[in-house]
Amino acid sequence: MSLVINRVSKDYSKSVTALNAISFQVNSGEAVGIVGESGSGKSTLAKVLLGLESYKEGSITFNGKPIAPKKRSLLRDYRKSVQMIFQDSAGALNPKLPIWKSIMEPLDNFKEVTPSFLAGKNLSRKETAEVLLERVGLDKQFAERYPRELSGGQKQRVSIARALSIEPSLLICDEPTASLDVTVQVHILHLLKDLQKKMNMTILFISHDLRSVTFLCKKVIVLRNGSIVDQFELSELYHQDRHPYTKALIQAASIQ
């Protein structure tokens, strides 16, 4: 798996440049973090990477093939390989569906996919959802519940279970813990880290919180006003060559 972003720019209008010649690469098995303050262009980047927003200049390739927002067939293939977890898990779940049906949406959309955990097993759709719930640390009794009957952290776990169902080669998370209280944030981060290790999953983790990013990711990219101002391996976090803005973030996060 490789995702290559090359000098991608995005304007919402003449006065708003949300992304300015962004370049970076994500390779198999890596956890790459993008950190930046509110308005720095993080969600715009996530949307552009998912083909939900167009971009003006530059190129994005996934496994060597360009991601063109207009080409539906290419996008379908890509969507199968790339799953997303959003900040607002409540909005991502259909309130009218029991949890197990929401979890099954990706597998229902991509019937041609048989994930490795289903190989050789003859499970009903609901049993499949229950297996996925267990993977994210939720009891199978949650399968029958509705989103309104779950806490924020439980809903975020459900979103993760759903995203993992088709074994994506890349998982993009945009502020997946921002709406949760601190202890639940820690649980979700541990869960993601655990899954990343166990499944050798590739994660692009987007957050305003440098602490979360450095907990989960080995590669860190710092975004400011739509530009990448710093990009480094976690082991170089405290290197003297860090950009002054990165140093300010380190100080603000009290992890110096």
Provide the binding-site residues for Mg ion, judged by CB under 5 A: 42-43
CB of 42 to Mg ion, least distance (A): 5
What are the distances in angstroms from CA 4 to CA 24, 26, 63? 6, 7, 8
Assess contact for 23 and 50: CB atoms under 8 A. no
Closer to ligand ATP at the Cβ: 13 or 124?
Answer: 13
CA 80 to chain centroid: 14
Which burial class, exposed, middle or buried, applies to 177 when counting CB atoms under 10 A from its CB (0-12, 13-18, 19+)? buried
By CB under 6 A, residue 16 contacts ligand ATP: yes
What are the distances in angstroms from CA 216 to CA 31, 188, 208, 210, 221? 7, 11, 14, 10, 13
Q: Which of Mg ion, ligand ATP, none does residue 39 bind to, with CB < 5 to 8 Å depending on kind? A: ligand ATP
Binds ligand ATP (CB under 6 A): choice among 39, 58, 115, 137: 39
Closer to ligand ATP at the Cβ: 38 or 73?
Answer: 38
CB of 45 to Mg ion, least distance (A): 9
By CB under 6 A, residue 12 contacts ligand ATP: yes
- Single-letter code of the amino acid located at 127: E
Give the range of 42-50, 94-102, 161-169, 212-220 binding ligand ATP by CB under 6 A. Answer: 42-50
Q: Which residues bind ligand ATP (CB under 6 A)?
A: 12, 16, 18, 36, 38-44, 208
